[in-house]
């Protein structure tokens, strides 16, 4: 059984006032709901108040990007978690859906300058999906919900560092932009 090497690692803390959105696909709801519940628990461990997690249910994975974009465009949402499951079928339909969703979610993140987390499982079988979606106490081996929540917290922390790192170290006489030399 595979184990998550970070299962017992302490969660990073979110800044007060952080608000997150979550879009949860309705296909295979028992698994996507389990991923959401695990993500919500991890976010609470990171300091997020229950009222600061806004959830919107989507019909399926294909609709995740549009709904995620709407949430990401909100001024009061700092990041969006997208949770879904695309299972392999008899045709190549799953590949097209998974690729389209992944590409579109990346575009939403780049267009809105906010983390948009890809918590969409792309599995061959329902058994593989259960192993990846469920926490260990429910028979899973991966816990994708917790992983996506941790990635959201880490991405927000990294963006904060990218925005502030080194600003105080500008050499005398150089400006960081916008102002003309005097």
Domains in the chain (CATH in brackets) are 20-148 (3.40.50.960)
Of the candidates 93, 142, 170, 175, the residue annotated as catalytic is 93
**What local confidence, expressed as pLDDT, does residue 131 receive?**
95
Taking the C-alpha atoms of residue 63 and residue 165, their distance in angstroms, rounded to an integer, is 36
pLDDT, greater one: 175 or 13: 13
Taking the C-alpha atoms of residue 141 and residue 125, their distance in angstroms, rounded to an integer, is 15
pTM over 0.75? The answer is yes
pLDDT at residue 2 above 70?
no
pLDDT at residue 168 above 70?
no
pLDDT, greater one: 3 or 50: 50
pLDDT at residue 13 above 60?
yes
Give the tens place of pLDDT for each residue, 73-119: 999 999 999 999 999 978 888 889 999 999 999 999 999 999 999 99
Break the chain down into helix, strand, coil percent, rounded to 5: 50, 15, 35
Give the tens place of pLDDT for each residue, 132-151: 999 888 888 999 999 999 99
6 is catalytic: no
Average pLDDT of the segment spanning 160-164? 91
Average pLDDT of the segment spanning 117-129? 95
Q: Tell me how far CA of residue 69 lies from CA of 23, 45, 84, 90, 108, in angstroms.
A: 10, 26, 16, 31, 6
**What local confidence, expressed as pLDDT, does residue 181 receive?**
41
pLDDT at residue 11 above 90?
no
Could you tell me which residues are beta bridge partners of residue 24?
A: 57, 83
Average pLDDT of the segment spanning 142-167? 93
């Amino acid at each position: 059984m595979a184990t998550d090497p970070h299962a017992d690692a302490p969660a990073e803390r979110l800044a007060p006032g952080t608000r997150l959105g979550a879009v949860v696909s309705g296909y295979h709801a028992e698994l996507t709901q389990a991923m959401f519940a695990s993500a919500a628990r991890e976010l609470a461990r990171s300091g997020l108040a229950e009222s600061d997690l806004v959830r919107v249910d989507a019909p399926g994975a294909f609709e995740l990007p549009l709904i995620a974009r709407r949430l990401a465009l909100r001024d009061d949402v700092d990041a969006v978690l997208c949770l879904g499951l695309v299972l392999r079928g008899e045709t190549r339909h799953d590949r097209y859906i998974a690729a389209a969703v992944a590409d579109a979610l990346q575009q939403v993140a780049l267009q809105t300058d906010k983390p948009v987390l890809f918590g969409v499982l792309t599995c061959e079988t329902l058994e593989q999906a259960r192993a990846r979606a469920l926490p260990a106490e429910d028979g899973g081996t991966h816990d994708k919900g917790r992983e996506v929540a941790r990635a959201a917290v880490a991405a927000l922390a990294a963006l904060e560092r990218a925005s502030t790192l080194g600003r105080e170290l500008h050499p005398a006489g150089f400006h960081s932009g916008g102002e003309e030399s005097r």
